Amino acid sequence: MEFGLYSILIFLICYLIGSFPSGYLFVKTSHRKDITKEGSGNVGTFNAVTVSGSKLIGFLVLIFDFLKGAVPMYILTKVYNDDIITLYAASIFLVLGHNYSVWLRFKGGRGLATGAGIFIVLSYWILISWCLVWIVLRLFKQEVLISNFIATLFLPLFAIILNLFDIKTTINVISSSGINLFVVFVICISLLVVIKHMEVLGKIFPTVAKNFNK
């Protein structure tokens, strides 16, 4: 498929929506702190709680970042329901915007909440699978970010399983002929999330290993 000017405009709008710095604005207005310069420097839920010390602020950041993915995708499925590639490309731009916000000099979050919003529209089974793996890891007292990382690594596997069993991948009427593209799409989203976890995990894993060997 060739993307025309209209499609490019849609992708740009999605990037700008994803770029909306909700975490930065909530923490800045409520606690007068620059979340990009404190804690991990990440503008997502976890660092919002760390920097502000407020679970309410973290919850608000989570909801807004989730809606940045869910609302645009829900609207786009009504317009492009028969154009899977455009939907998937738009989703990727939403996550790119969140992870590399133009308003924050291309700093951002890790893409989890925005990705969750996308998947609840395009494939709630993927989101459910991610949550189940995350819960199991947390029961074994893994660090939150490690749980996020490992659960995300499993997402392509879940997409392949959906493909093998020909399970409907969306709550909307998207043709199952695009399910193989769905696997590629899930891999792309997973990579965007995993890449943003690499730096902090480099600091966490040695600490976890040290504690484990005590």
* Spatial separation of the C-alpha atoms in residues 21 and 175, rounded to whole Å: 34
List own/partner pairs for 195-198 with CB under 8 A and 24 or more apart.
196/42, 196/99, 196/108, 196/109, 196/110, 196/111, 197/110, 197/145, 197/148, 197/149, 197/152
Least confident stretch, 4-18, 74-88, 198-212? 198-212
Residue 27 CA to residue 1 CA, distance in Å, equals 42
**With bands split at pLDDT 50, 70 and 90, how would you rate the model's confidence at 1?**
low
Half-sphere exposure of 122 (CA within 13 A, CB side): 34
Q: What is the pLDDT of residues 9-41, one digit of tens each?
A: 999 999 999 999 999 999 999 999 999 999 888
User: For residue 41, what are the domain limits?
Assistant: 5-212
pLDDT in tens, 151-209: 999 999 988 887 777 665 554 434 445 557 888 899 999 999 999 888 666 655 555 43
Q: Which one, of 16, 20, 181, lies nearest residue 86 by Cα?
A: 181
193 vs 7: CA distance, rounded Å: 24
Q: What total number of domains does the chain contain?
A: 1
Can you give the pLDDT at residue 155? 93
Match 């770029």 to its residue by tokens. Answer: 19
